[in-house]
Amino acid sequence: MKERSYKANLLIEGMAKKLNRQMVGSLVACVHCGMCTESCHYVLTNPDDPTYAPAYKADRMRKIFKRHYDWTGRVFPWWVGAKSIFTDEELEELKDISFGKCTNCRRCSINCPMGVDFATFNRALRGLLVSVGVMPEGVAVVSKDQWEIGNQMGVLPEDYIDTLDWLSEEMQSEFDDETAVIPIDKLDADIVYTINPREVKYDPRTISDAAKIFHIAGENWTMPSEGWDMTNFGLFSGDDALGGAVAIRVYEKLKELRGKKLVISECGHGYRSTRCEGPNWAGIDQDFIMESSVFTMLNYIKEGKIKVDKSKNTGSYTFHDSCNNARSCGLYEEPRELLNLVVSDFREMYPNRNENYCCTGGGGAMSMSEYTSRRLKSAKVKADQLKATGANIVVTSCHNCVDGLTDLIKHYDLKMEVKQLVNLVANALVIPEKITAPEVPTVEIKKAPLAGRKILVVDDEPDILVFFKSVLEDNGAIVFEASNGEDAISIALKEKPELMTLDINMPGKDGGWVFENLRRNPEIASTKVCIITGRPELRRLIYDRPVPMPEGYLDKPVDPDTLLFNVRKILEVG
């Protein structure tokens, strides 16, 4: 008899705990009619490869289920396609299918005549693989961060608070109003606003945009100092325990602050996890109100709490429905209603709403760099969809989609921009007389905010060096370049830059080596570091080192605004 590996055994045993009636129904009901095939964006871009077909992918788990839990498969395994797993290599194959060939977008589920919900049991399969330690490295890193640090991007508490304080100062200065602040841990607020850590790390503007809207609406609101991350990697990893723990962390903080309503910023998976799945994972009944910030902003306009001038948002706009919002939470009309209130030229994308195609970066795909080429190939479907709208700005209510779309727009050279509703609402705000934002004071700051600041750019890719250098020099910085680890250290010792942007994956001495050497050398240890990498799974090369953490972190690709924004933030340039 064939011997089964320890992990394979655990996975088979673990399956029993994952099965519920819905899942078993979906596992036994498939008739292999093939109707789901063309609903999948992976199939549409790989028409000759049947291994992308949803039914084929679903059968990988179905085979194991039938072999061990369904007596037809136990008695006639070959006849009904039942098959067990024995080796760790087979687990790796399952990982490749479950994580690398499906974004759990649920498009096949709504196109199955039998009502087989493949996305649900694919998530369960991911959970089983994670339970035996078989997962893409990016999934392991992000899950670890969310378990240990409390948010999925490893944002430290002091960085989070610093960012909010900094944004508060900016807002006070913009409105010339001491009360224009982001309240933290305020008790009895009507709204407790939770966000995606991506907003802190890469896009603090979305936080300040939301803050402006709350301020002008005269809202009694707050942001929590803990339990502020409404995203939940448990959704992507299939780990219900993580899902429940993260959701409870958010719910408990709301209760501790005696908040009346939890408002979730624009994030598809965050909204689904916190609003729709969290209570189920946590095993508690929802007893307080939760809503997407899309509803909040829409209601402000409808109730006259804020006024908007749509002429401020020029350009042509289309809307991309996030899978988690539209296909798992029924959120698709309100974003359109809101968008139509803040822009003049809206062009619908086809198909849309429940039938829209995935941004192709969903299901955690953006954190699994080993599947990037596969993901970008499948993004052709989305690229064609975007192009057909003729719009130059795509709006979405999801941070994951922002990243996924930005990446594919760059890859397919679409000349489009991605925005969120909060950006457009904030931009269209008609600011009442008493809190009119003054003009930005000095021309010099606008033109050269980094004037005289020394920055060392370290990257082995010549294109990246040129790109970073030109963006930073255009803003007044004095830029030095290094294309390998040794040069980076010697230039740092010679020029004493204030900031080093550091790539991790370089031939020879990698970013980890540079970082540790920098931190351990008293001459240059105080140099601020912003890690900029296309391999997020390698973050451990930096963060596992016993030296003080870097001051910033960015995932490639980086657009000029994000780069500049983060550099200014690290150097504390207003």
Partner 1 sequence: MSESLHFAEHRLQEIALLVMACVYAIRIFWLTRYKAGRDRQMPTGPPDTNKKKGILYSLMNIMMPWAMESTRKHFIIYSQFIVFHLGVTFAILMSFLIPYAPDTMKPVWVIYLFQVVIGAAFIVGIFRIIRRFSKKVMRAISTPDDYFSLILITTWFLTAFLSVPNKPENGETIMIIYFWLTAFFLIYVPFSKISHYLYYPFTRYYLGRTMGHRGVFPLRGSRQSK
Sole binder of partner 1 in the list 25, 157, 462, 574 (CB under 8 A): 25
State yes or no: residue 21 binds partner 1 (CB under 8 A): yes
Distance CA 80, CA 446 (A): 68
Sole binder of partner 1 in the list 7, 15, 41, 59 (CB under 8 A): 59
Q: Which is nearer to partner 1, 75 or 466 (CB)?
A: 75
Per-residue interface string for the shown chain with partner 1, residues 351-390, x marking contact by CB under 8 A: xxxxxx----------------------------------
For 391, the token pair is 């719009």
In the chain, how long is the greatest CA-to-CA distance? 82
Stretch that binds partner 1, among 4-12, 280-288, 456-464, 465-473 (CB under 8 A): 280-288
- By the 8 A CB rule, do 393 and 416 touch? yes
Q: Which is nearer to partner 1, 38 or 170 (CB)?
A: 38
- 534: nearest Cα among 305, 290, 367: 367
Min dist CB 162 to partner 1, Å, is 34
Q: Which is nearer to partner 1, 92 or 337 (CB)?
A: 337
Sole binder of partner 1 in the list 9, 84, 280, 483 (CB under 8 A): 280
Min dist CB 78 to partner 1, Å, is 7
The strand pair at 346-347 and 221-222 is best described as unpaired
Output phi, psi for 390, to 5 deg. Answer: 75, 5
Distance CA 456, CA 453 (A): 10
Q: Which is nearer to partner 1, 53 or 142 (CB)?
A: 53
Per-residue interface string for the shown chain with partner 1, residues 319-358, x marking contact by CB under 8 A: -------xxxxxxxx--------------x-xxxxxxx--
For 144, the token pair is 């670890």
Q: Which is nearer to partner 1, 390 or 441 (CB)?
A: 390
Half-sphere exposure of 355 (CA within 13 A, CB side): 11
Min dist CB 70 to partner 1, Å, is 8
Distance CA 160, CA 84 (A): 47
- By the 8 A CB rule, do 257 and 187 touch? yes
Residues numbered 418-437 forming contacts with partner 1, rule: CB under 8 A: none
User: What angle do the packed helices 380-389 and 399-411 form, to 10 degrees?
Assistant: 90
Question: Looking at the DSSP assignment, which residues form a beta bridge with residue 532?
Answer: 554
Three-class DSSP labels, 61-127:
HHHHHHHHHCHHHHHCHHHHCCCCCCCHHHHHHHHHHHHHCCCCCCHHHHCCCCCCCHHHHHHHHHH
Q: Which is nearer to partner 1, 249 or 453 (CB)?
A: 249
Per-residue interface string for the shown chain with partner 1, residues 504-523, x marking contact by CB under 8 A: --------------------
Min dist CB 23 to partner 1, Å, is 8
Distance CA 45, CA 24 (A): 30
Q: Which is nearer to partner 1, 62 or 95 (CB)?
A: 62
Q: Which is nearer to partner 1, 33 or 547 (CB)?
A: 33
Min dist CB 131 to partner 1, Å, is 19
- 12: nearest Cα among 75, 68, 73: 68
The amino acid that residue 15 corresponds to is M
Residues numbered 104-163 forming contacts with partner 1, rule: CB under 8 A: 109-117
Per-residue DSSP letter, 20: -
Min dist CB 388 to partner 1, Å, is 9
Stretch that binds partner 1, among 43-51, 366-374, 415-423, 441-449 (CB under 8 A): 43-51
Q: Which is nearer to partner 1, 25 or 548 (CB)?
A: 25
Sole binder of partner 1 in the list 13, 17, 29, 470 (CB under 8 A): 29
Q: Which is nearer to partner 1, 178 or 285 (CB)?
A: 285
Residues numbered 228-257 forming contacts with partner 1, rule: CB under 8 A: none
- 66: nearest Cα among 12, 122, 8: 12
Q: Which is nearer to partner 1, 74 or 494 (CB)?
A: 74
State yes or no: residue 440 binds partner 1 (CB under 8 A): no
Residues binding partner 1: what is the number (CB under 8 A)? 72
Sole binder of partner 1 in the list 13, 17, 74, 76 (CB under 8 A): 76
The amino acid that residue 430 corresponds to is V
- By the 8 A CB rule, do 104 and 363 touch? yes
Per-residue interface string for the shown chain with partner 1, residues 290-309, x marking contact by CB under 8 A: x-------------------
Output phi, psi for 327, to 5 deg. Answer: -95, -10
Distance CA 264, CA 230 (A): 7
Distance CA 574, CA 565 (A): 10
Per-residue DSSP letter, 17: H
Sole binder of partner 1 in the list 55, 85, 401, 429 (CB under 8 A): 55
Stretch that binds partner 1, among 77-85, 185-193, 373-381, 540-548 (CB under 8 A): 77-85
Q: Which is nearer to partner 1, 326 or 428 (CB)?
A: 326
Q: Which is nearer to partner 1, 4 or 336 (CB)?
A: 336
Sole binder of partner 1 in the list 56, 65, 317, 480 (CB under 8 A): 56
Which residues have CB under 8 Å from 498's CB, separation 6+? 453, 454, 455, 527, 528, 571
Residues numbered 186-215 forming contacts with partner 1, rule: CB under 8 A: none
Per-residue DSSP letter, 442: -
Distance CA 396, CA 393 (A): 10
Min dist CB 314 to partner 1, Å, is 24
Distance CA 16, CA 126 (A): 14
State yes or no: residue 48 binds partner 1 (CB under 8 A): yes
- By the 8 A CB rule, do 231 and 152 touch? yes
Sole binder of partner 1 in the list 31, 430, 445, 466 (CB under 8 A): 31
Dihedral sign from CA coordinates of 535, 537, 538, 539: positive
Distances from the Cα of 228 to the Cα of 164, 197, 222, 329, angstroms: 12, 8, 11, 21
Q: Which is nearer to partner 1, 114 or 156 (CB)?
A: 114
Min dist CB 172 to partner 1, Å, is 36
Which residues have CB under 8 Å from 97's CB, separation 6+? 51, 57, 60
For 526, the token pair is 């105080």
Q: Which is nearer to partner 1, 45 or 208 (CB)?
A: 45
